[in-house]
Structure 1
């Protein structure tokens, strides 16, 4: 009875967990904007951003994001419009993610994404020809639970080398500048820490994109742990030359891009476990106990079949025991008959031997009597001759 109560409790908790996970997965609206720029018009082409963007887009789709927009090799006007349109998509979302692969630049402490048609002959052109990171953050700001920007944009920037400075005091750093998001529950993941340069990679994807592809879709994994694993993999794959960095903070709750949905509860799981346990014991008592708890269902049918087999085996064993006892009885009777026959034969042989001994003794006695008679006759004959001889001499 207690066991049945525990089973009911476990089933109830499992159903509640699954319902809660499924409800969370259904309630969260997750949207993503994926940007990649490889074909720059004024500088050398980057090998991997277009490939990285396409692969990351596919991952977001496999993760079940409600909306995934992939845009590649956009000019400045198109990129700004893409960000504006995505702002409308992110307005009622729970999680909004922007991924960018391409060149980026930091000017006077502000970070910019560089579109395909940018020329950037001077630092004054940046506001006109590039898209500020702040605009991206503004676009995803309405998202309720998570705002995430992933920038694989710290590549060695060829624009910086040829840009002239319109104001002598205006700074232009190497890589991107450190940023602290003003809004809570916002993370900005750089492919390399502020002021450092990230590699484009020699393979099909950059080291940062490769690590993202390996870890982003892990179900139920908190985003901070996901990005931590990405960091560890990039450090390892680049010989510690490149260290991704994350800016911003999240609260104490687990925030996962892919919710962990409990596996479907098998209504026969408890019955299966008890069935396997009963099968290990294999006795009539075990199967009877099992059927007392699980009187119906597929495993109950199997349990009845197991009991039938036990009945058949018991009957077969009883029949075999009966046949064995009969065979033993027959063997004992046969043994007694043979023993009796041997004893009777021995008695007959003994009697015959006795008769044979008596006949031989009689013959021997007759022979001895005949011998004595013959000897007595010879002696008598001798005596008669002696008497006759003595008479003759006397005469």
Structure 2
């Protein structure tokens, strides 16, 4: 979708009273629109020549195919003979001479004309009726001037939003505020997801009315025939497939760029190739009977001793590691598996017999639960609270362990591991604490948090999702909390009985920005860390066989275009992530 915006803020007037917040307002709106997928041009303190030139350039750049074009202006403006003018910073001082206004400012009609080339929706937002002494003097001595701006008739497909009602002036912001009253409330609402543009306008109006005690009433003239959203991502998007596996339940899901790996309760392993090619085949009555493309291959793992995989990690598209209940780290050669003969079983799934290589044996026989990696080191955790560091190398396509080290981190088993590739720092968690470990494999910090999951992001640092529905953002070495977010607790709409202990069961990240959380409601929630806003929460099927399985314990994003999650007891869903 093509979306374009021109955002202008004028503060530093040379001949009339300067303003405090328009540039802050323009920067605030510009940042949000950028994050919402707009191609934004931000301009500040424009003189007349530059104002007219940039407006003309923007108008020339607008295409008929643009689905949404937006103009935002914050600064001085005047109304002259029922016409509105936006004032450049070099406007002449003697505004009582109306020729100075007509020749020295920007006619609002030129702005609307610049947008009209688009066949899509057009939005003009004016936080421009700022209080100023010079207009009072002009109005008192000239009946051709009026206070504030006048309402103009918007052309078809256009909405004009004013910071206050016709004939009134707007607040440039309260003491201690970096934004004007209108833009401060507008920015809060356009940052939210799931609001139509009409809802954004209404909510902004209500907030400004409450804040100013009805002294400032945002106004609008709207000729848009349909409602629309400013959102840049649709979550969870289209459900591409919901595939049933012949199993009692799914233990873990992990992915590389080309493959998705699933481990089940029956010691079955599934590998999916070319997920983006999956299409459904229906029986003529709308019922999906099977899927074509991206077909799963079932692996007979031959692990022995009734062993099974607790968690898996792709080193790359060629090799995958799995930590097991019996204390082994197994190595899977993906390309090697593809050369094995396969046959079609009774469920229609290609079956491959395969024996993975044992890469590491902890010699203690304790269960290994978690695995993570950074550069040439792989970290795995045991049920006793031990953390193992394996130095691995790839020699002529063969993965081997060169050395290993271990440290006892906790008295309880470790539930999650995250690594920082740049600093070498590691964060691990048990049920009650998170521990930060430096690149010398020594514990440097320990914090009490009822942790459920952790991850590391280059842009966000260490991200910790706690069992009280809080998300904590730590710096890259785990020494301080940068930010803390409390998510809204919502019960599943189809549950008759409320769950008293809601918590996060899984955590992933998309585009270094969107956190994707699985919960025990069960649901999948996406949170935009840039806009500090929940994108959406998708509630899943509650008809599970036990409370344990009514949680989303596994999530993974595939090529940052698809999301995988267990959607039912033995089903997993594939959702497309639709982004602008």
Compared CA separation, residues 114 and 82, structure 1 to 2 (3 A): same
Length, aligned pairs only:
267
Superposition deviation, residue 130 in structure 1: 1.1
SS of residue in 1 equivalent to 2:191: coil
CA RMSD after TM alignment: 3.5
**Match of residue 207 from structure 1:** 181
- What corresponds to 2:136 in structure 1? 161
Aligned to 1:103: 76
The residue aligned with 1:70 is: 42
* 1:216 match: secondary structure: helix
Instruction: Confirm whether residue 143 of structure 1 aligns to residue 118 of structure 2.
Output: yes
What is aligned with 1:197? 169
Asked if structure 1 preserves the Cα contact closer than 8 Å seen for 2:3 and 2:67, the reply is yes
Show the 5 A alignment for 1:296-335: 297=270
Q: Which residue of 184, 192, 196 maps to 2:156? A: 184
1:268 Cα offset (Å): 8.7
Q: Counterparts of 1:41-60 in structure 2 under 5 Å? A: 41-60=14-33
Deviation at 1:275, TM superposition (A): 4.8
**Residue 234 of structure 1, CA deviation:** 1.3
Match of 2:391 in 1: none
Conservation of the 8 A alpha-carbon contact between 2:138 and 2:145: no
SS of the equivalent of 1:77 reads: helix
Query: What is the match of residue 14 of structure 1?
Result: none
- CA contact 1:146–1:186 (8 Å) conserved in 2: yes
1:208 shift after superposition: 0.9
Deviation at 1:110, TM superposition (A): 0.5
Deviation at 1:245, TM superposition (A): 1.1
1:379 match:
none
> Matched residues in 1 for 2:234 and 2:121: separation?
19
What corresponds to 1:133 in structure 2? 108
Matching residue of 1:239: 213
Give 1:88's aligned residue.
60
How far is 1:266 from its partner? Answer: 8.0
Contact 2:139–2:147 (Cα < 8 Å) also in 1? no
Tell me whether 156-165 or 209-218 shows the greater mean CA deviation. 156-165
Indicate the SS of the match to 2:14.
coil
Q: Which residue of 2 aligns with 1:33?
A: 6
Secondary structure at the aligned position of 1:180 is classed as coil
- Correspondences of 1:4-23 after superposition (within 5 Å): none
> 2:139 touches 2:146 (CA, 8 Å); kept in 1?
no
Counterpart CA distance in 2 for 1:82 and 1:157 is 26
Looking at structure 2, the residues matched to 75 and 128 of structure 1 have their Cα atoms a distance apart, in angstroms, of: 13
Greater gyration radius: 1
Aligned-pair distance for 1:277? 10
Answer yes or no: is the 8 Å Cα contact 2:70–2:122 preserved in 1. yes
**Which one of 214, 221, 232 corresponds to residue 195 of structure 2?**
221
In the TM superposition, what whole-angstrom CA distance separates every residue of 1:287-318 from its partner, at most 9, and x where no partner exists?
xxx97xx976389889x99x959xxxxxxxxx
Cα distance, 1:211–1:50 mapped onto 2, change above 3 Å: same
Task: Tell me by how many angstroms 1:206 deviates.
Answer: 0.8
CA deviation after TM superposition for structure 1 residue 151, in Å: 0.2
Distance in 1 separating the partners of 2:225 and 2:13 = 39
Contact kept, 8 Å, 1:124 with 1:165, in 2: the verdict is no
Q: Tell me by how many angstroms 1:200 deviates.
A: 0.4
Report the Cα distance in structure 2 between the residues aligned to 1:128 and 1:262, rounded to whole angstroms. Answer: 49
Contact 1:123 1:164 in 2 (8 A): no
Between Structure 1 and Structure 2, which shows a larger proportion of helix residues?
A: 1
Q: Distance in 1 between matches of 2:269 and 2:240?
A: 12
Could you list the per-position Cα deviations for residues 117-170 of structure 1 after superposition, in whole angstroms to 9, with x for gaps in the alignment? 11224222111111111010000001121111000011123332344899x7x5
| 1:265 to 1:136, Cα distance in 2 relative to 1, 3 A | closer
Q: How does 1:353-364 map to 2 (within 5 A)?
A: none
Alignment correspondent of 2:549: none
**Which of the pair has the greater relative contact order for Cα pairs under 8 Å at 6+ separation?**
1
2:100 & 2:202 partners in 1: Cα distance? 36
Q: Structure 1 residue 69: deviation in Å?
A: 0.9
The alpha-carbon distance between structure 1 residues 255 and 175, as it changes in their structure 2 partners (threshold 3 A), is same
